[in-house]
Chains A and B, each alone.
Chain A
């Protein structure tokens, strides 16, 4: 034991070989140490020890080669049978390897990885205090990297130390040019910057580093774009709210980005300051403690994606506006990558807030608050200042029903005012499909659009009470609208839509009695009230035969008044009756009253939204046709009565009986024709269409647009069928013209028969008086010249009668033929009715044969 100690002492302290005293002293000192309590508590786990050693080795040489070597050696050692205390030997070596380094290793960044503090040793055990000056670094083999670096230094092309590039890269991330790497404005038309490495002959930047810097600089480049966008929008006026919120969101994101940069920079700063000034060997400092380019790359990776998304949004924001911008962002929301999806969702949530604010206003108040026109509902700037007119209570007769335009309308011409309701409804607000966010969907978009429009309409057309009631209902259903709650949004839209359209229906049908007006139109303009029409026809026909310029409106209105009084129409509500008016259309020279007379039904706002001027024109057209039919019918009826009655009693001219018979035949044919025509119009067309309309009204579905559409379809159907319009382009009115010709022929025929009647009457009277004279009774003394029978005159009349009857017959045949091949089924049925039991067909065949 002591001999071993002695040999130790002599080998380690060469001077002790000569100096015996010193040797003794040292040996005893060493024995003191050995008998002291150092390292009493040592566990015997060699595995743990090996671990500790390995970690220590890894720390000094991170490549792990020495650790591997150590593992090898250890296993060989364990194979050796000779040592009984292998762990103790290892412990010894380990303790020895640790101790000289303790003072030389600078405090490191990662305390957890720092070597465990040296085991405490009692201060009493040491003779002299441990010299704090570190022993010279133990020589060790140079690594290949060191060799390479030395070589490079030797040939004068050392690599730029990484931390310098790192600092520049951090600048680049903020869009600032660094010392060694900088952005340069390039000739690229897109304004993209180029990354340029400063040429410095004293340093070389290796290619992998350059590539890494390039990758990192992408973030900086994107940052510059986003930042420039945000800054540009900040300074601008008239930037849309959606864009503003986008900017805000981007700014928040950028602030987060700044925070990250700041953290990274703080790490780098401490790293650099520890080793300033840079020496040639600073690359050898343990790098696991600080920031490296590669680590930076990892840190930045997330942000690279984020920046890319932001930059894409920014690019899109340049071209898109408002809802389209939201749409654009939403396009990225459907992504399988949860990162992108989350980012987009957040962005959308933020960006769509102004949109939803506008939507809320529009959906629940019917007001468009959209100062930057970003909503998918756009207001026509020319109509924006107009409101739907208030219905004027004094109504018809004053300057139209559109008094609600309040002063503005005074200067405008009457026709412009007349179009008010519909024009406002149709064109005040426009639906803009490209501005509609995709997450809403077009069906819902339409619903939103219609709801807002309806509310707007109710609000400005109806009285306050309506509005209050509607709003009360709506307020129950209105929740907060936001992007993340699409289902709730759709529910809210549905509810609001239903309430609004329901309300609108109520307003129209209960408050404004739309149904009453429609009924009135049907009764008066479509001649639904037979007694009224008969009355009117009877009282008017004498004056209507006069030239149009001899008619006076006050006469017409007076007649109308009396017709109403003397018929059932008097029971209609005064509100309906006061709207009824008789007037003349624009007439040209030579027209008679029949051509220009028309009934008119006046509607005012807001009913004129449904019964718009175009519709009224159609009604007038229908009335015109029906009125003509009615006139022909009544003419024929009267003629028939005269003939049928007169022939039996006083028209005793036996040689003309056959002619009368012929006339009666033709007339019966005509009556059949006109009656069938009339029945078809009234029963097949008008009543059927009315039924369809009524069903729609009772269903109470849809909005005002649907109502208008239903009414339009109703009217269109009637016009098409009553006027027998054919779908062939350019020949729509062929049949109508033929029918009108027939009407004209019938009238002429009637005139001719009237002449014939008169002739017969005078002839009969003449014969009567002749017979009286023969019996010796002198009833009258007519001038013989005037009463003389004139065979030429009667021939002439009869020729006319025959001519008309044949031409009627021909025309009727053509009409029936045309009708039977008509595209419309109802019209074909009319053909069957007209040619009942194939009357015209057989006649045609008999003509042929």
Chain B
């Protein structure tokens, strides 16, 4: 996903694995892909708590939309 990871793929892969394990442990519910994206954003300076809020917001939105799939109001 992120171009910055291409040169150090193996190391990044390991880091990602560890982070994914922690994520599983903490029950965050993130899949590997999303996690990688998020970590990339954090590395580029995004506030982690704000990002967490974003993830939640998106989840909520998705849920709300799947709750009324036909309306498509937005």
Distance (whole angstroms) from the CB of B24 to the closest CB of chain A: 10
Q: Among B11, B25, B63, point to the contact of A81 (Cβ < 8 A).
A: B11
C-alpha gap A53/B63 in the complex (Å): 27
A window 161-191: CB within 8 A of B: none
- Residue A369 CB within 8 A of the other chain: no
- Residue A590 CB within 8 A of the other chain: no
Knowing A30-B57, A39-B49, A93-B23 touch, does A82 contact B18 (C-beta < 8 A)?
Answer: no
C-alpha gap A121/B65 in the complex (Å): 23
Q: Among A1, A99, A121, point to the contact of B44 (Cβ < 8 A).
A: A1
Question: A99 contacts B56, CB within 8 Å?
Answer: yes
Question: A83 contacts B15, CB within 8 Å?
Answer: yes
Q: Among A15, A35, A81, A130, point to the contact of B62 (Cβ < 8 A).
A: A15
Question: B59 contacts A12, CB within 8 Å?
Answer: yes
A window 42-74: CB within 8 A of B: 42, 53, 56-57, 66, 69-70, 73-74
Question: B28 contacts A97, CB within 8 Å?
Answer: yes
- Residue A721 CB within 8 A of the other chain: no
Return the CB mask of B12-28 against A: 1 if under 8 Å, else 0: 10110011011101111
Knowing A4-B37, A138-B27 touch, does A89 contact B42 (C-beta < 8 A)?
Answer: yes
Q: Among B18, B40, B54, point to the contact of A80 (Cβ < 8 A).
A: B18
Q: Among A34, A39, A57, A127, point to the contact of B25 (Cβ < 8 A).
A: A57
User: Using a Cβ cutoff of 8 Å, how many contacts connect chains A and B?
Assistant: 163
C-alpha gap A358/B12 in the complex (Å): 92
C-alpha gap A127/B40 in the complex (Å): 26
- For A85, what are the chain B residues with a Cβ–Cβ distance below 8 Å? 42-43
- Residue B72 CB within 8 A of the other chain: yes
Question: A25 contacts B74, CB within 8 Å?
Answer: yes
A window 91-113: CB within 8 A of B: 91-97, 99-100
- For B39, what are the chain A residues with a Cβ–Cβ distance below 8 Å? 83, 89
B window 46-64: CB within 8 A of A: 46-64
Q: Which chain A residue lies CB-closest to B39? A: A89
C-alpha gap A83/B48 in the complex (Å): 14
Chain B facing A: main interface SS: helix
Knowing A15-B62, A80-B11, A97-B26 touch, does A38 contact B47 (C-beta < 8 A)?
Answer: yes
Question: B53 contacts A121, CB within 8 Å?
Answer: yes
Chain A facing B: main interface SS: helix
- Residue A14 CB within 8 A of the other chain: yes
Question: A94 contacts B62, CB within 8 Å?
Answer: no
Question: A76 contacts B28, CB within 8 Å?
Answer: no
Distance (whole angstroms) from the CB of A801 to the closest CB of chain B: 140
Question: A9 contacts B37, CB within 8 Å?
Answer: no
C-alpha gap A92/B42 in the complex (Å): 9
- Residue A777 CB within 8 A of the other chain: no
Question: A90 contacts B27, CB within 8 Å?
Answer: no
Distance (whole angstroms) from the CB of B17 to the closest CB of chain A: 9
Centre residue among B18, B29, B63 by max chain A CB count within 10 A: B18
Return the CB mask of A483-494 against B: 1 if under 8 Å, else 0: 000000000000
- For A39, what are the chain B residues with a Cβ–Cβ distance below 8 Å? 47-50
Question: B19 contacts A93, CB within 8 Å?
Answer: yes
- For B50, what are the chain A residues with a Cβ–Cβ distance below 8 Å? 33-36, 38-39
- Residue A84 CB within 8 A of the other chain: yes
Question: A128 contacts B64, CB within 8 Å?
Answer: yes
Q: Which chain A residue lies CB-closest to B66? A: A15
- For A8, what are the chain B residues with a Cβ–Cβ distance below 8 Å? 34, 37-38, 41, 54-55, 58
Question: B34 contacts A119, CB within 8 Å?
Answer: no
C-alpha gap A95/B62 in the complex (Å): 19
Question: A125 contacts B53, CB within 8 Å?
Answer: yes
Knowing A15-B62, A96-B28 touch, does A91 contact B74 (C-beta < 8 A)?
Answer: no
Question: B49 contacts A7, CB within 8 Å?
Answer: no
Interface band, chain A: 35 or more
Knowing A8-B37, A12-B34, A88-B48 touch, does A70 contact B25 (C-beta < 8 A)?
Answer: yes
Distance (whole angstroms) from the CB of B30 to the closest CB of chain A: 7
Knowing A13-B62, A82-B12 touch, does A90 contact B22 (C-beta < 8 A)?
Answer: yes
Question: B26 contacts A77, CB within 8 Å?
Answer: no
Question: A11 contacts B34, CB within 8 Å?
Answer: yes
- For A66, what are the chain B residues with a Cβ–Cβ distance below 8 Å? 25
Q: Among B22, B34, B59, point to the contact of A74 (Cβ < 8 A).
A: B22
Question: A73 contacts B25, CB within 8 Å?
Answer: yes
Q: Among A84, A93, A128, point to the contact of B22 (Cβ < 8 A).
A: A93
- Residue A846 CB within 8 A of the other chain: no
Centre residue among A12, A57, A88, A126 by max chain B CB count within 10 A: A12
C-alpha gap A417/B28 in the complex (Å): 108
- Residue A775 CB within 8 A of the other chain: no
Q: Which chain A residue lies CB-closest to B60? A: A131
Question: B11 contacts A34, CB within 8 Å?
Answer: no
Distance (whole angstroms) from the CB of B63 to the closest CB of chain A: 8
Distance (whole angstroms) from the CB of B67 to the closest CB of chain A: 10
C-alpha gap A140/B30 in the complex (Å): 14
- Residue A29 CB within 8 A of the other chain: yes
Question: A92 contacts B48, CB within 8 Å?
Answer: yes
Question: A7 contacts B37, CB within 8 Å?
Answer: yes
- For A96, what are the chain B residues with a Cβ–Cβ distance below 8 Å? 23, 26, 28-30, 52, 55-56
- Residue A40 CB within 8 A of the other chain: yes
C-alpha gap A94/B49 in the complex (Å): 9
Q: Among B21, B49, B61, B62, point to the contact of A38 (Cβ < 8 A).
A: B49
Question: A77 contacts B22, CB within 8 Å?
Answer: yes
Q: Which chain B residue lies CB-closest to A119? A: B49
C-alpha gap A35/B54 in the complex (Å): 11
- Residue A668 CB within 8 A of the other chain: no
Q: Among B44, B48, B61, point to the contact of A95 (Cβ < 8 A).
A: B48
- For A127, what are the chain B residues with a Cβ–Cβ distance below 8 Å? 57
- For A34, what are the chain B residues with a Cβ–Cβ distance below 8 Å? 46-47, 50-51, 54
Distance (whole angstroms) from the CB of B64 to the closest CB of chain A: 7
Distance (whole angstroms) from the CB of B70 to the closest CB of chain A: 12
Q: Among B11, B37, B60, B62, point to the contact of A82 (Cβ < 8 A).
A: B11
- Residue A655 CB within 8 A of the other chain: no
- Residue A26 CB within 8 A of the other chain: yes
- For A33, what are the chain B residues with a Cβ–Cβ distance below 8 Å? 50, 53-54, 57
- Residue A19 CB within 8 A of the other chain: yes
Centre residue among A36, A40, A85 by max chain B CB count within 10 A: A85
Knowing A26-B58, A92-B51, A95-B52 touch, does A82 contact B15 (C-beta < 8 A)?
Answer: yes
Question: B38 contacts A73, CB within 8 Å?
Answer: no
Distance (whole angstroms) from the CB of B20 to the closest CB of chain A: 10
- For B18, what are the chain A residues with a Cβ–Cβ distance below 8 Å? 73, 76-77, 80
- Residue A383 CB within 8 A of the other chain: no
C-alpha gap A678/B18 in the complex (Å): 126
C-alpha gap A194/B26 in the complex (Å): 50
Question: A99 contacts B52, CB within 8 Å?
Answer: yes
Distance (whole angstroms) from the CB of B23 to the closest CB of chain A: 5
Distance (whole angstroms) from the CB of B25 to the closest CB of chain A: 5
Q: Which chain B residue lies CB-closest to A131? A: B60
Q: Which chain A residue lies CB-closest to B51? A: A92
C-alpha gap A46/B58 in the complex (Å): 27
- Residue A786 CB within 8 A of the other chain: no
- For A128, what are the chain B residues with a Cβ–Cβ distance below 8 Å? 60, 64
Question: B53 contacts A38, CB within 8 Å?
Answer: yes
For the complex of A and B, the 4 pairs showing the least CB-CB separation, nearest first, are A39-B49, A97-B26, A92-B48, A95-B52
14 CB contacts below 8 A, A to B, read A1-B41, A8-B38, A8-B41, A12-B59, A12-B62, A13-B61, A33-B53, A38-B49, A57-B26, A69-B25, A97-B26, A97-B28, A130-B60, A138-B29
Contacts from A to B (Cβ < 8 Å): 1, 4-5, 7-9, 11-15, 19, 21-22, 25-26, 29-30, 33-36, 38-40, 42, 53, 56-57, 66, 69-70, 73-74, 76-77, 80-85, 88-97, 99-100, 119, 121, 125-128, 130-131, 135, 138, 140
Contacts from B to A (Cβ < 8 Å): 1-2, 8, 11-12, 14-15, 18-19, 21-23, 25-31, 33-34, 37-44, 46-66, 72, 74
Q: 11 more A-B contacts (CB under 8 A) besides A34-B51, A38-B53?
A: A1-B41, A7-B37, A21-B74, A35-B50, A36-B50, A76-B18, A89-B42, A90-B22, A96-B28, A96-B52, A96-B55
